Structure 1
Amino acid sequence: MDPLFLFIELLSVLCFLMIILYYHHLQSIKTSSMEPTKWPILGHLPGLIANIHHLHDWSTGVLAGAVYNFEGRGGWTGLRYFLTCDPSNVRHIFTSNFANYPKGDVFAMTFDILGGGIFSADGESWRRQRVKVQMLMADPRFRALTAGCSHDKVEKSLLPFLALAADEGRPCDLVDVFLRLTLDVTCTLICGIDPGSLVTGLPVVPFMTATDVALGTIFLRHVIPVTYWKLMRRLNVGPERKMAVARRTIDSFVDDLIAQRREQADMLNLNDGANTAYVDLLSPYLCDENTSDDDFSTSDEFIHDTVLNLLVAGRDGMAAALSWFFYLVSTTPRVEQKLLDELSLVVASKDGVDGAGSAAVDSCSGGMATFHASEIKCLVYLHAAMCETLRLYPPIPFEFKTAAAADVLPCGKVLKAGDKVLFFNYAMSRMEGVWGKDCMEFRPERWITEEGSLRYEPSYKFFSFNTGPRTCLGKDMAFVLTKTVAAAMLWNFAFEVVPGHVVEPKLSIILHMKNGLLVRVRRRSRTMSHVVNAKT
């Protein structure tokens, strides 16, 4: 045999053996089998790319194996995060040492579509915006508007649409239905204008498509190094090209809403303070245009950003929560029956329609029932089931903060100024050490005490509405709408997920469903005796 050929062959075998030994070395230094391999130059990037299609569940496995905390590195790309789902870290960063963890420039860059609105603002601007929105949402008139608008939209749009779907026997995508419903309600509460997207025929709404593109692109910005996606934006290629088009559509929709509201305000002399009948969130800002000396808080740009921030938060968060709620309930008959039993007590306590604040019911003639906020606010099991849905499928599955100065987290991790921390809310709900061995189960009973009242869970553990000074201001509004919708839909209809339909999270900053939620809708048949029996 040629000596050169023999040498090359032996060298190849040796290199192959060295690669195998090095690979085994890389595996041996991992803290768990779920931890991605840290390669030279590339770091953990190959593992991230290979598992990005199911990022939420993959991250959950990584954090479970690493006991809640993991340092992710992207090698030469510069991508670097400290991943955590440790409640003690959440409490420290979002509450105890809140001032050291602003949203920061990186967040503002990533979420540039939100402009200077409340969700990306920091410092004095954020404090002023929060005080004003909190004051407006606490107004009893706005709370009454929320309850009334939710009930009316369910009665006049949602139930008739579902009834038609049931009668025609066609599959229905509940995700699309809920996005349209929450868009109409949110626009009404913010601007006093109902765009009427939830009607028979389901008209094309460019804003909805554009928002999906924007949220998906923002998600990708979390896993693509800043330099790369900024270059794509400059060159107008890839997802950033779609983002630019989507942003124009979104801005146009928001500007049209504001223009319509301004026109109504002028017609009704709203700006002179004489008309106080309108309590939507935008009206006070329009009034301030003629009464305030603060050019920033009354500028067109500021009002645009404010409306957009509130609109995205209201529409997408509530729609995602409702989608996962009906998926979980429709696949858990035990929970569905308990919810129906609880609702039957409300229905049985009424002789029929007796004015505002009562359930409108006509069971004998097969009419559909609606429930007012005043009736369902004391339904413990319904509230527990909604909380359990938000625990398992939080609308915002992860978010990040940047350390302004060096700090030491409760877990012992030392952070330097500029280090980014990525919080996985989705993963936290699936940690046995946080929620128990049944953490993966949909069990509303975990939210109910032995005495039958609602159980309190600290917000740094139940992180769906954020925690600390940035706790979600729309929490009460969200519960009013979602429970009003859920009660009416459950009582009047049964839902069955279409066989073979795959339900999984979408790659988006909001935890929507990738393929929607295709269901078959069936009217529930009841006689008055079924309702009356609930009393006994």
Structure 2
Amino acid sequence: MAIFDYIMILMPFLCFLFLFHWSWKRISPITNWPIVGMLPGLLCKAPHIHEYATQVLKQSGGTFWFKGPWFANMDFLVTCDPMNVRYISSKNFANYRKGPEFKKLFEPFGDGVLTSDSDSWKSFRKLIHSLIKHRKFQLFQERSMRQKVSQGLFPVLDHVSRLGTELDLQDVFQRFTFDNTCLLVLGFDPNCLSVDLPEVASRRAFDKVEEAVFYRHMVPEFIWRIQKWLNIGEEKKLSGAMETLDCFLYQCISLKQEEFRRHRDQIEQVDEEKDEDFDLLTVCMAEKLEEEEEEEKGIGGNLHMDAYKKSERYLRDIAFNFTAAGKDTVNAALTWLFWLIITHPSVEKKILEEIKENLQAKEGGDWRFFNVEELGKLVYLHAAICETLRLYPSVPFNQRVSIQPDTLPSGHRIDANTKVMVSLYSMGGMEEVWGDDCLEFRPERWINEQGGIIHVPSYKFIAFNTGPRSCLGQDLTFFQMKTIATAILWNYRIQMVEGHPISPCLSVMLHMKHGLKVRVSKRSDV
């Protein structure tokens, strides 16, 4: 190849580097440059990407066209307009799929529920629904929460309280939910949450996967493709993380299969009240056994899905998707909730008064586990959780792709195969949606005159998504968050470490970049 050919190939990339360097402090939020589009502005604002997106959407009336480099296929429509969200997620749901582009970005998730469309997605959703509504699973998750609080959370907080040392509360929540989710999904407790706070490779590997997936959203595909080919940068980290995770998951699956085979004869005789584990892998294996029996009887099904279910990869994808989703949505929300409570003493006082009044908690007495019905009485705490998720949704953005050309309620015309990004984070900061005090943490906005929770349409409060893909685990999330919040707030005083910075990190989940550093002391003033 001649030197001229090399120059022609490198020229667009060199232009991009020059403009990116030149525009670092000069670029306006929505400048559309020749060749490189709006990507330089996006990269400049990357450390504050969610605030940047909110600012741009406010300037654009809630919906905005992002133009990427002409060679990178990065154009997309971003919106936080509730009417657009309702239309995309519900009214014209069939026209907006995850699509092949989403599956490429979330490659580590395989063919699981988070990346699937159509029949396979329906099959996964049916499985989730049957599991969550099953009495044995509900008993199992209540028992696992009780054990993890008493045997994991309390010993750690007591230890730190005695020593008077700083503690990263986000790390504690991540350990708690990772242990609990692994138990509910895999039937295995990694015991991350213990006094010595051990380093567990599989937990860190999940974090690296999320960071790498977010990186793929931020750069042209050819860049991360080259990095993957050369095994460098974020793709090298992703490769190492996936090797660690697949080893962990397949080992858990193998152990669960052996256990399942030993108890196979007992599967059909389910005692609803028997105190035993009822994890997702066990349910999946029982389902596979039932379908194999139906197949022998000549009952047909989806051939592609049936073949997939027979593979080890099916169990691996299920385990990966549900562990990744379950471990992070709750801990991210808990971290922001406690930061907001700590920095709003009046809210903390009202929550403590509500616990004392409604749960008959005794001052100075031992903490006990509250069931779903008891926790349902904590209206103000419920409102505080809703307000937290409004301002800091655990999943800050969602992506779809159009199948056919369409026109959104906002009047924006989109072509087939157009990427549409919904900014859940930005919607919480829109005055048109939540009023002039939208940036304030005010749980009272969720409580009506009768003292109950105000119903807000799910396309406006979209922390749990809306439409057919709405989260089936919403009740489970509130139960877990209320259990942990009441346990900590009633027994311990949490104070922020002075000067500790708070900002979101760059990830597909809304974690805190620097964690949540606090000091813990036993509470004696309730």
Q: Normalised by the size of structure 2, how large is the TM-score? A: 0.89
User: What is the CA distance between 1:273 and its match in structure 2?
Assistant: 3.2
Which range is displaced more, 310-319 or 38-47?
Answer: 38-47
User: What is the CA distance between 1:257 and its match in structure 2?
Assistant: 1.8
User: What is the CA distance between 1:83 and its match in structure 2?
Assistant: 1.3
The corresponding residue for 1:64 is 58
> Partner amino acid for 1:42?
V
Q: Is the 8 A contact 1:270 1:287 kept in 2?
A: no
The corresponding residue for 1:52 is 46
The corresponding residue for 1:203 is 198
The corresponding residue for 1:342 is 354
C-alpha offsets along residues 97-139 of structure 1, whole Å, 9 cap, x if unaligned?
1011111000011101111111111111111111121111111
Q: 1:270 to 1:416 in 2, by over 3 A?
A: farther
Say whether residues 1:303 and 2:332 are aligned partners.
no
Q: Is the 8 A contact 2:504 2:511 kept in 1?
A: yes
User: What is the CA distance between 1:237 and its match in structure 2?
Assistant: 1.6
Say whether residues 1:329 and 2:323 are aligned partners.
no
CA distance in 2, matches of 1:62, 1:214: 28
Unaligned runs of 5+ in 2: 1-21, 293-305
CA distance in 2, matches of 1:517, 1:85: 28
Say whether residues 1:254 and 2:244 are aligned partners.
no
The corresponding residue for 2:458 is 459
User: What is the CA distance between 1:178 and its match in structure 2?
Assistant: 0.6
User: What is the CA distance between 1:498 and its match in structure 2?
Assistant: 0.6
CA distance in 2, matches of 1:270, 1:174: 44
User: What is the CA distance between 1:338 and its match in structure 2?
Assistant: 0.4
Say whether residues 1:487 and 2:481 are aligned partners.
no
CA distance in 2, matches of 1:374, 1:261: 33
The corresponding residue for 1:439 is 438
CA distance in 1, matches of 2:479, 2:368: 17
Select the residue among 141, 154, 163 that pairs with 1:159.
Answer: 154
Q: Is the 8 A contact 2:87 2:409 kept in 1?
A: yes
C-alpha offsets along residues 331-359 of structure 1, whole Å, 9 cap, x if unaligned?
00010100011011134x36xxxxxxxxx
C-alpha offsets along residues 368-412 of structure 1, whole Å, 9 cap, x if unaligned?
454333321221001000111111100000111111110000111
> Partner amino acid for 2:48?
H
CA distance in 2, matches of 1:168, 1:260: 39
CA distance in 2, matches of 1:401, 1:285: 28
C-alpha offsets along residues 151-187 of structure 1, whole Å, 9 cap, x if unaligned?
2211221112111111110111111111110011111
> How do 1:366-377 and structure 2 match up within 5 A?
367-377=366-376
- The number of residues matched between the two structures is 484
The corresponding residue for 1:476 is 475
Q: Normalised by the size of structure 1, how large is the TM-score? A: 0.87
Which range is displaced more, 395-404 or 266-275?
Answer: 266-275
Q: Is the 8 A contact 1:175 1:516 kept in 2?
A: yes
Q: Is the 8 A contact 1:288 1:298 kept in 2?
A: no
> Partner amino acid for 1:267?
R
> How do 1:124-163 and structure 2 match up within 5 A?
124-163=119-158
The corresponding residue for 2:68 is 74
Select the residue among 176, 182, 186 that pairs with 1:187.
Answer: 182
The corresponding residue for 2:32 is 38
> Partner amino acid for 1:435?
W
Which range is displaced more, 164-173 or 287-296?
Answer: 287-296
> Partner amino acid for 1:299?
S
CA distance in 2, matches of 1:289, 1:470: 24
CA distance in 2, matches of 1:227, 1:84: 26
Larger radius of gyration: 1
CA distance in 2, matches of 1:227, 1:99: 30
Which range is displaced more, 517-526 or 431-440?
Answer: 517-526
Say whether residues 1:507 and 2:506 are aligned partners.
yes
Which range is displaced more, 493-502 or 184-193?
Answer: 184-193
User: What is the CA distance between 1:72 and its match in structure 2?
Assistant: 0.9
User: What is the CA distance between 1:275 and its match in structure 2?
Assistant: 5.9
The corresponding residue for 2:449 is 450
The corresponding residue for 1:225 is 220
> Partner amino acid for 2:322?
L
Which range is displaced more, 124-133 or 85-94?
Answer: 124-133
> Partner amino acid for 2:445?
R
CA distance in 2, matches of 1:295, 1:76: 40
User: What is the CA distance between 1:419 and its match in structure 2?
Assistant: 0.9
User: What is the CA distance between 1:492 and its match in structure 2?
Assistant: 0.6
Q: Is the 8 A contact 2:168 2:518 kept in 1?
A: yes
Q: Is the 8 A contact 1:506 1:514 kept in 2?
A: yes
The corresponding residue for 1:273 is 268
CA distance in 2, matches of 1:262, 1:88: 47
The corresponding residue for 1:286 is 285
Identity among equivalent positions (%) equals 40
Q: Is the 8 A contact 1:155 1:370 kept in 2?
A: no
Q: 1:459 to 1:377 in 2, by over 3 A?
A: same
The corresponding residue for 2:399 is 400
Q: Is the 8 A contact 1:53 1:507 kept in 2?
A: yes
User: What is the CA distance between 1:292 and its match in structure 2?
Assistant: 2.0
C-alpha offsets along residues 416-436 of structure 1, whole Å, 9 cap, x if unaligned?
011111111100000000000
**Two-structure CA RMSD over aligned residues (Å):** 1.8
CA distance in 1, matches of 2:265, 2:153: 31
Q: Is the 8 A contact 1:371 1:488 kept in 2?
A: no
Q: Is the 8 A contact 2:76 2:421 kept in 1?
A: yes
Q: Is the 8 A contact 1:271 1:286 kept in 2?
A: no
The corresponding residue for 1:97 is 92
